[in-house]
Every structure is written in structure tokens, then in C-alpha cells.
């Protein structure tokens, strides 16, 4: 990326500081810094202040904090009537944290009109490590014994930072997102961070917050003391709505 090396470069120390998010570029929106590594300590520190890595093979690690920020308040998510009927059809069943590696692998797979993935091998390993430590989680949508869709991300305090979702069956990713929001709402999570908005997310209730509003809300929610463990045995997802 042209101009990457004019940005602040992160050092090797995973405890080193990030630049203030106010210094993120307007174009490309949110680009803040480059370099460093994907150590657990660095990733957790980054997410706590609204920064995340996003890069493609051949690039250095790029760190982002876009504004405005796309979020979903878990109690405000909604589905179209058609997708709601599919949600209620009992064709699918839902689990959490039973197939994290499979979900992230599916999210990294090729997609229409995209020639490469930002979920690199190093990113996959970093988030699988976060999952093993109880920080990263997945929600799976199954059709019989086959994985039909899913979503994964990182939980810090009472914020869930959604990373990616996939679908190989009709509406499975929408069902994954809604089911996750419903579970987060039951657990009194205050925010699902979607990073950057698109029409698909807005149609399901996503909104945009200014940097100031997002970071104020974020600072309150990430301080919430939550258990750091697997969600497999805690799940209480309703398979009908």
C-alpha cells in the first residue's frame, strides 16, 4: 500500500503503545499504524481501545480504527419476514464454540468478487490462540451434521467484536448474526462492533456512531468484568423467534 511506511510503526514489544486513534487517516478510513505482531497481549490491548488488524498477504500488519463506527445494539437487531420464517423452520440448529477453527476457515475461504482473503494464516493462528484462552468465540449454524454458516469474533468486557461471518446455505449468516445478538442481549452485552458498515448490516439494525460516541461507550463496556472461558456450556440460544 502506497504511503504505508509514512505511518507510525509498532515495535516488537507487545506492550508498546498504539498511536492515538484520533491520528487515524481519513483515507483509507481508519488506517492508523503498521508493523508489530499478533501476540495475544497486543490484540487484547488493541481491541480495548477500538483498534484491530486488517491486512492481506504480502502487506505488513496494518492496524485500523475507522470512523464512523458500525455497531449493533444487541437488543435492536432484526430480521426480514422471510429470514425470520427460515430461522423458525427448524431446518437449522445452533451451537457456540464447538467448531471455532472450522468457522474461521470457512470465513477465510474464497468469496465472489474477492480474489484474496484478509484472514491470513497468521491471523487464523492468532485468533485460534485467543479462542483457546477463552477470549474469541464462534456461533455455528448447522443443517444436520453440516456446517451451514457461522460468525466469530472477540469478547472483551461486555463488547463483542465481530470479525467475520460466512454462509453456505440460504440466510445462515443472517441467522448466525441474529442468534449471536440475542444471546449477547441475554447476557447483558452492550455492543456488537461491526467495524465498517454495509447495506446488509444496516438492513439488520446496524447503526453508525461517531468516534467520540463509540469510544466513550467502548471505554465503559470493556471495563465490565466477565468470565474468560468457553461459551460451549453457557449457551442458551433460542432456535425460534
For 172-211, the pLDDT digits (tens) are: 999 999 999 999 999 999 999 999 999 989 999 999 999 9
Q: Is 53 helix (H, G, I), strand (E, B) or coil?
A: strand
Q: Which of 66, 94, 115 is the last residue of a domain?
A: 66
Q: Tell whether pTM > 0.85.
A: yes
The pLDDT score that the predictor gives to residue 60 is 93
Which residue has better confidence, 238 or 98?
Answer: 98
Question: Taking residues 137-143, what's their average pLDDT?
Answer: 95
Same domain, 93 and 75: yes
The pLDDT score that the predictor gives to residue 85 is 79
Same domain, 104 and 140: yes
Question: Taking residues 139-145, what's their average pLDDT?
Answer: 93
Same domain, 50 and 135: no
The pLDDT score that the predictor gives to residue 88 is 72
142: containing domain = 70-221
Q: Which of 51, 16, 13, 14 is nearest to 32 (CA)?
A: 51
Distance CA 162, CA 71 (A): 9
Q: Give the pLDDT band of residue 137 (cuts 50, 70, 90).
A: very high
Same domain, 38 and 79: no
Same domain, 143 and 194: yes
* Dihedral angle sign, alpha carbons of residues 236, 102, 58, 113: negative
Distance CA 209, CA 212 (A): 8
Distance CA 220, CA 67 (A): 19
Same domain, 34 and 109: no
Question: Taking residues 144-153, what's their average pLDDT?
Answer: 95
Q: Give the pLDDT band of residue 238 (cuts 50, 70, 90).
A: low
Residue 166 has pLDDT above 50, yes or no: yes
Residue 181 inside a domain? The answer is: yes
Q: Which of 210, 201, 218 is nearest to 77 (CA)?
A: 201
Same domain, 96 and 9: no
Same domain, 122 and 10: no
Residue 86 inside a domain? The answer is: yes
Residue 233 inside a domain? The answer is: no
The pLDDT score that the predictor gives to residue 84 is 75
Same domain, 39 and 144: no
Q: What is the pLDDT of residues 60-117, one digit of tens each?
A: 999 999 999 999 999 999 877 877 777 777 788 899 999 999 999 999 976 544 445 6
Distance CA 162, CA 103 (A): 13
- Could you give the number of structural domains in the chain? 2
* Dihedral angle sign, alpha carbons of residues 106, 50, 188, 210: negative
Residue 2 has pLDDT above 70, yes or no: no
C-alpha cell at 39: 501476540
The pLDDT score that the predictor gives to residue 115 is 47
Q: What is the pLDDT of residues 111-130, one digit of tens each?
A: 544 445 678 999 999 999 99
Backbone φ, ψ for residue 214 (5° rounding) = -65, -50
Q: What is the pLDDT of residues 33-68, one digit of tens each?
A: 999 999 999 999 999 999 999 998 888 999 999 999
Residue 144 inside a domain? The answer is: yes
Question: Taking residues 211-226, what's their average pLDDT?
Answer: 96
Amino acid at each position: 500500500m502506497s504511503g504505508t511506511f509514512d505511518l507510525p510503526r509498532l515495535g516488537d514489544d507487545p506492550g508498546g503503545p498504539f498511536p492515538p486513534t484520533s491520528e487515524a487517516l481519513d483515507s483509507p478510513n481508519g488506517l492508523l499504524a503498521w508493523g508489530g505482531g499478533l501476540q495475544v497481549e497486543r490484540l487484547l490491548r488493541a481491541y480495548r481501545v477500538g483498534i484491530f488488524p486488517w491486512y492481506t498477504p504480502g502487506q505488513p500488519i496494518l492496524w485500523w480504527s475507522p470512523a464512523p463506527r458500525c455497531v449493533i445494539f444487541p437488543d435492536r437487531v432484526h430480521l426480514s419476514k422471510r429470514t425470520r420464517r427460515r430461522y423458525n423452520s427448524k431446518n437449522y440448529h445452533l451451537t457456540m464454540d464447538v467448531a471455532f477453527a472450522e468457522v474461521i476457515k470457512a470465513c477465510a475461504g474464497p468469496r465472489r468478487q474477492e480474489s484474496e482473503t484478509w484472514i491470513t494464516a497468521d491471523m487464523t493462528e492468532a485468533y485460534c490462540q485467543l479462542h483457546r484462552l477463552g477470549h474469541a468465540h464462534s456461533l455455528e449454524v448447522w443443517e444436520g451434521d453440516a456446517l451451514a454458516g457461522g460468525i466469530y469474533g472477540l469478547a472483551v468486557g461486555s463488547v463483542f467484536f465481530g470479525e467475520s461471518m460466512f454462509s453456505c446455505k440460504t440466510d445462515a449468516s443472517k441467522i448466525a448474526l441474529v442468534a449471536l445478538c440475542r444471546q449477547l442481549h441475554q447476557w447483558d452485552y452492550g455492543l456488537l462492533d461491526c467495524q465498517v458498515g454495509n447495506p446488509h448490516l444496516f438492513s439488520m439494525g446496524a447503526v453508525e456512531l461517531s468516534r467520540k460516541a463509540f469510544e466513550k461507550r467502548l471505554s465503559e463496556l470493556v471495563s465490565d468484568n466477565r468470565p474468560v472461558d468457553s461459551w460451549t456450556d453457557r449457551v442458551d440460544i433460542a432456535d425460534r423467534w
